[in-house]
Amino acid sequence: MPTTKTTTMRAIVQDGYGSPARVLRPEHIARPPVGPLDVLVRVRATSVNTPDWITVTGVPYVLRLKSGLRRPSHPVRGSDVAGVVEAVGRDVVDLASGDEVFGSVWDGTIGARAGTFAEYTVLPASQLVRKPAGLSFEEAAASVMTGLTALTAIRDVGTVGPGTRVLVNGSSGGVGTMAVQIAASLGADVSAVCSSRNVELVRSLGAHHVIDYAKEDYTDGRLRHDVILDNVMNRSPWATARALAPGGVLIPNSIGNSGGLLAGLPRIASASVLGLGPTTVKTVQLQVNRGNLTALSELLESGVVRVVIDRTYPLERAGEAVEHVLAHHARGKVAITV
């Protein structure tokens, strides 16, 4: 008797805005369609990123004008993915069924059409690469958005190289742990700001100087840096500028900061418009493409960069995973297995 191939999948669906425990629930929904240049991936792991909890809570409210006024237009959260290729579009020639891959559906918008808190997801082949054999699915899924943000900020925006004095504020989070390692691998002199409980973790990642923010003020001007990556934006741009050397670059990370995707934009705008003396303010424009993914994959495969995972949750407990990230106490990333 012939078997019938299922066209549905398990997913975590958001049916409103509010606390993750209240608005995220498991449901069976239709599998996403596969376009000519798309890849259908059987998700093995995903992770929680800032846009996920922002879309779940619906704060800041202005974002609802784009994602949906009463509920998100696209109900499945999640950006990063690691899994196995299930099917490819007719024009995809470099990936095939059975390939182990990782990448991200992120397209720069809140509440993107495809989500990864599900058994299957669809994304362009250009936003996937093969997963290194020595990397677990959880590690691969937890590396993408934060890893690419850190790579773009340090390598491209900050143009960090040997001897560059780099400070990473918020060094124990997803972007921060990656940025410390990438900067150190490029030969920079790395200072890292974190809480007391994360000092040893950050030092183990390659930071040359660790600043416990409860005991020291990195903006007091005693130490000057060529590049500051600010993942927290808990100080004014003028205060932060005191820690920059003449001609230094301030990189406010609005994608990864704990105050929310848009929380730091007024400070970015004021810094850019009013100027900070010799300081240059530059922002990170995250692009998920083969070139960036390949560079990240090489760093991970070589062991130069490792993924810090705070906790791992099963798909059915995705709401708890988002709650944990929302509390802003996670060290590194929170992964979800499927």
CA distance linking residue 153 with residue 95, whole number of Å = 29
Could you tell me how far CA 305 lies from the centroid of its own chain?
15
pLDDT tens digit sequence for 7-63: 999 999 999 999 999 999 999 999 999 999 999 999 999 999 998 999 999 988 888
Query: What number of other Cβ atoms are within 10 A of residue 159's Cβ?
Result: 13
pLDDT tens digit sequence for 259-273: 444 444 545 545 554
Judge whether residue 69 has pLDDT over 50.
yes
Q: Which domains can be identified in the chain, with CATH numbers?
A: 8-143+287-337 (3.90.180.10), 159-281 (3.40.50.720)
- Alpha carbon separation from 334 to 30, 66, 121 (Å, rounded): 26, 26, 19
CA distance linking residue 246 with residue 232, whole number of Å = 22
Judging by beta carbons within 10 Å of its beta carbon (0-12, 13-18, 19+), is residue 282 exposed, middle or buried?
A: middle
pLDDT at residue 235 in the model: 86
Q: What is residue 87's three-state secondary structure?
A: strand
pLDDT at residue 262 in the model: 45
pLDDT at residue 254 in the model: 67
| Residue whose C-alpha is closest to residue 106's, from 63, 77, 64 | 77
Render 33-80 in DSSP notation, one character per residue. Answer: P--TTEEEEEEEEEE--HHHHHHHHT-SGGGHHHH-SSS-SS-B---E
Higher pLDDT, 292 or 241: 292
CA distance linking residue 172 with residue 300, whole number of Å = 18
What lies within 8 Å, CB to CB, of 269 at 6+ separation is none
Higher pLDDT, 333 or 329: 333
pLDDT tens digit sequence for 107-138: 887 666 789 999 999 999 999 999 999 999 99
**pLDDT category of residue 238 using cuts at 50, 70 and 90:** confident
Judging by beta carbons within 10 Å of its beta carbon (0-12, 13-18, 19+), is residue 314 exposed, middle or buried?
A: exposed
pLDDT at residue 130 in the model: 98
State the chain's mean pLDDT as an integer. 91
pLDDT tens digit sequence for 241-258: 889 998 899 999 866 444
Q: What is residue 222's three-state secondary structure?
A: coil
Query: What number of other Cβ atoms are within 10 A of residue 191's Cβ?
Result: 24
**pLDDT category of residue 91 using cuts at 50, 70 and 90:** very high
What lies within 8 Å, CB to CB, of 155 at 6+ separation is 182, 186, 295
Judge whether residue 300 has pLDDT over 60.
yes
